[in-house]
Amino acid sequence: MKNSVDEAIRDMSKGRMVLVYDFDNREGETDMAIASEFVTAESIREMRKNAGGLICTTAHNDIVEVLGLPFLADIFNEASKDHPVLTGLVPNDIPYDTKSAFGITINHRKTFTGITDVDRALTVREFAKLIKNSGGKSPAVLREEFGHSFRAPGHIHLLNATKNLLTKRFGHTELTTALAVMAGVVPSTTICEMMGDNGKALDKSKAKAYAERNDLCFLEGQQVIDAWKDWGKKR
């Protein structure tokens, strides 16, 4: 089984899936992850059928700040002034984290319902393309392009990576986005939790076996953190 960060970076740069387990004392989950720019209908199908969790797309803090992408919890907090029921739903008791990464949900405007494998793949790829082509453009121009190309709500859940990756939050959002940065691809990944048939997250040993059968790289969160620190020192 492939289990080195170098192998994972090579695979991610080639558009291959990588499996990332966070930590025993966090979610204790393995996510399938692929660089968003390479997402196809086939990769969405693989996540849907062989992972089974929620398919989400990460956004590096740079694009989060340029576009002004909000966290969903902040939207709910603001909306609670007009909709008091939201006040009681504050996510202040997440047992494994201090903040949810959930942002808005989007569909590309060329999708139909947005939920099919083809539609979701299009939304993800076009979001990655927007990021890739964002260099040198003003925030106002990028926001206009974003609104021209996408509608909300939609069927792709955006996950906003925290500022200064892997310093305050150590979720799959940050772990896989850091891998994308080190791989030199668009800093956005599309991820999905692997679920077991027992109603719980897929056991780590079974996730490793899946990686072995399919020639995929399996990483643990600490490996990514250590590699990220080393990578930063060489920059």
Catalytic residue among 24, 42, 78, 96: 96
Residue 37: C-alpha distances to residues 101, 131, 208 (Å): 20, 10, 25
How far apart are alpha carbons 176 and 34 in whole angstroms?
8
pTM of the model: 0.96
Helix (H, G, I), strand (E, B) or coil at 156: strand
Where does 147-231 show beta strands of DSSP type E?
150-160, 189-193, 217-220
What per-residue confidence (pLDDT) applies to 99? 83
Give all domains of the chain, ordered by start, each with its CATH number.
31-196 (3.90.870.10)
Mark whether 56 is an active-site residue: yes
What per-residue confidence (pLDDT) applies to 163? 93
Helix (H, G, I), strand (E, B) or coil at 68: coil
Question: What is the CB neighbour count within 10 angstroms for residue 195?
Answer: 17
Helix (H, G, I), strand (E, B) or coil at 23: coil
Instruction: Extract the tokens encoding 22.
Output: 């966070």
Mark whether 96 is an active-site residue: yes
pLDDT at residue 1 tops 80 = no
Q: Are 228 and 8 in contact (CB under 8 A)?
A: no
Mark whether 82 is an active-site residue: no
What per-residue confidence (pLDDT) applies to 234? 78
Mark whether 220 is an active-site residue: no
Catalytic residue among 11, 60, 107, 126: 107
Mark whether 217 is an active-site residue: no
Among residues 234, 222, 233, 167, which one has the least CA distance to residue 21?
A: 222
Over residues 153-190, the pLDDT tens digits come to 999 999 999 999 999 999 999 999 999 999 999 999 99
Mean pLDDT of 68-72: 96
pLDDT at residue 150 tops 90 = yes
pLDDT at residue 235 tops 80 = no
Catalytic residue among 11, 22, 29, 31: 31
What per-residue confidence (pLDDT) applies to 14? 97
Percent of the chain whose pLDDT exceeds 90? 94
What per-residue confidence (pLDDT) applies to 232? 84
